[in-house]
């Protein structure tokens, strides 16, 4: 059966959304069943969805998650759902100009989800907006090897 992947997007100016769309298209072409769910208005129940999660978020303020991700982040902190069934990956967008808080949006989601028992698959993808690389290009390449990792883990489990 195709691996089901939910991409949860947190964005202020749309970059993470664009990245998510390109990643979705590539993962679908590789045979995964992928859906983008903007974090707006989502609660902890979103993690009851079948399959694997991909957090795709930028960073704002002083290392904060974007406005549309604030409510979900706060709900996870307050309600502390048990997420031992959850596997996830992280695409973190940021800018090294903000040296002290580089990619903290994605890093903070990673820490929170792992503190709730969820298991990250692969390294966090960090994108630096001042590096001159195109975020969707970097992300699509990262996502292909992430999907390989997910598939290998399933082959080993089978
Ligand atoms: C006001 C402002 C604050 C930002 N703060 C941070 C930050 O603290 N750390 C970081 O790594 N990037 C920071 N960034 C960079 C953004 O996260 C980065 O440009 C990202 O690609 C934007 O993605 P988005 O369009 O999906 O929101 C900031 C950008 C702006 C405009």
pLDDT in tens, 28-67: 999 999 999 999 999 999 999 999 999 999 999 999 999 9
Instruction: Indicate the pTM of the whole model.
Output: 0.98
Residues with CB under 6 A from ligand 1: 11-16, 58-60, 62-63, 66, 93-95, 98, 101-104, 129
Long-range contacts of 21-25 (CB under 8 A, 24+ apart): 22/136, 22/139, 22/140, 23/54, 23/56, 23/91, 23/136, 23/139, 23/140, 23/143
Angle 58-123-38 (CA atoms, 0-180°, nearest 5)? 35
Q: What Rg do the C-alpha atoms of the chain give, in angstroms?
A: 15
Structurally, the chain folds into a number of domains equal to: 1
User: How many whole angstroms from 112 Cα to the centroid of ligand 1?
Assistant: 20
Domain that holds residue 92: 7-38+45-150
Report the atom number in ligand 1 closest to the C-alpha of 12: 27
**Residue 146, in any domain of the structure:** yes
**Residue 1, in any domain of the structure:** no
pLDDT of residue 73: 98
Report the atom number in ligand 1 closest to the C-alpha of 58: 17
The CATH number of the domain where 18 resides is what? Answer: 3.40.50.360
**What tens digit of pLDDT does each residue of 8-33 get?**
999 999 999 999 999 999 999 999 99
Rounded to whole angstroms, the Cα distance separating 153 from 147 reads 10
Contact between residue 53 and residue 105 where contact means Cβ atoms under 8 Å apart: no
């Amino acid at each position: 059966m195709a691996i089901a992947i939910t991409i949860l997007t947190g964005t202020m100016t749309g970059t993470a959304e664009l990245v998510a769309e390109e990643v979705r298209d590539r993962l679908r072409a590789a045979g995964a069943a992928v859906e983008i769910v903007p974090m707006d208005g989502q609660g902890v129940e979103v993690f009851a969805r079948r399959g694997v999660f991909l957090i795709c978020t930028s960073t704002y303020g002083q290392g904060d998650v974007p406005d549309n991700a604030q409510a979900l982040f706060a709900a996870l902190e307050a309600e502390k759902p048990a997420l031992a069934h959850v596997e996830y990956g992280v695409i973190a967008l940021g800018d090294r100009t903000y040296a002290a808080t580089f990619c903290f949006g994605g890093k903070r989601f990673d820490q929170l989800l792992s503190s709730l028992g969820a298991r990250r698959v692969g390294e966090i993808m960090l994108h630096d907006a001042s590096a001159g690389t195109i975020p969707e290009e970097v992300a699509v390449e990262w996502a292909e090897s992430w999907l390989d990792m997910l598939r290998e883990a399933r082959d080993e489990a089978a």
